[in-house]
A and B are shown apart, each in its own frame.
Chain A
């Protein structure tokens, strides 16, 4: 049963600390998305990669957030320094995107981040 995996599942940290979240996409998928979900803002797209190349990170605060995909099996989202307003659930999703109407994406279990 192919699934997107994310680590850690929960993270509590103090303001100013660096946070790194990891995602393993489903094998064979060519696109990885990073989302943030809060009660107030809902599900927001932060960045996405196609064939490991960043295509759009306009939703990401550039001064403190960075996203990378060092290889096809690993995507990372880093926050440095973290702030209390970064507290949210961060989801990774992956999909096989071929520019067809049936392209879809599948979500990982998320990382619940709390910044004190």
Chain B
């Protein structure tokens, strides 16, 4: 079982819709969860992080964490073509990870005008 899993996509949504990106992780002791956005040919860029169960909102982005289900998601409201990128989920902490960040394979999002 992979440690951090994401649907590879591509996930296609129309402009203005809500994009929902999902991530599951295997280490129940994981402490912090991060979403990075990576445009083609560029480096990963931190969007937001979450470490408490529930929702955390930042502008058009909402991160949701459910530690019991070992599940974290990122919602992008009012999706724009400029949101088209690969979104990487990263997990930190836990017995298996130490202080390392373990990245998922990423989900490619395409927002159609």
Enumerate chain A interface residues (CB-CB to B < 8 A).
31, 33, 42-43, 45, 48, 56, 91, 97, 99, 101-110
A31 cross-chain contacts in B, Cβ below 8 A: 99
CB-based contact A107/B43 at 8 Å: yes
Given the complex of chains A and B, what is the CA–CA distance between A45 and B102 in angstroms?
A: 8
Given the complex of chains A and B, what is the CA–CA distance between A43 and B32 in angstroms?
A: 18
Nearest CB of chain A from residue B23's CB, rounded to whole Å: 13
CB-based contact A91/B44 at 8 Å: yes
Given the complex of chains A and B, what is the CA–CA distance between A97 and B93 in angstroms?
A: 12
CB-based contact B103/A103 at 8 Å: no
Query: A104 is contacted by which of B49, B100, B102, B104 (Cβ under 8 Å)?
Result: B49
B51 cross-chain contacts in A, Cβ below 8 A: 101-102
Assuming the A-B contacts A101-B31, A103-B99, are A42 and B43 also in contact, with contact meaning beta carbons closer than 8 angstroms in the complex? no
B105 cross-chain contacts in A, Cβ below 8 A: 42
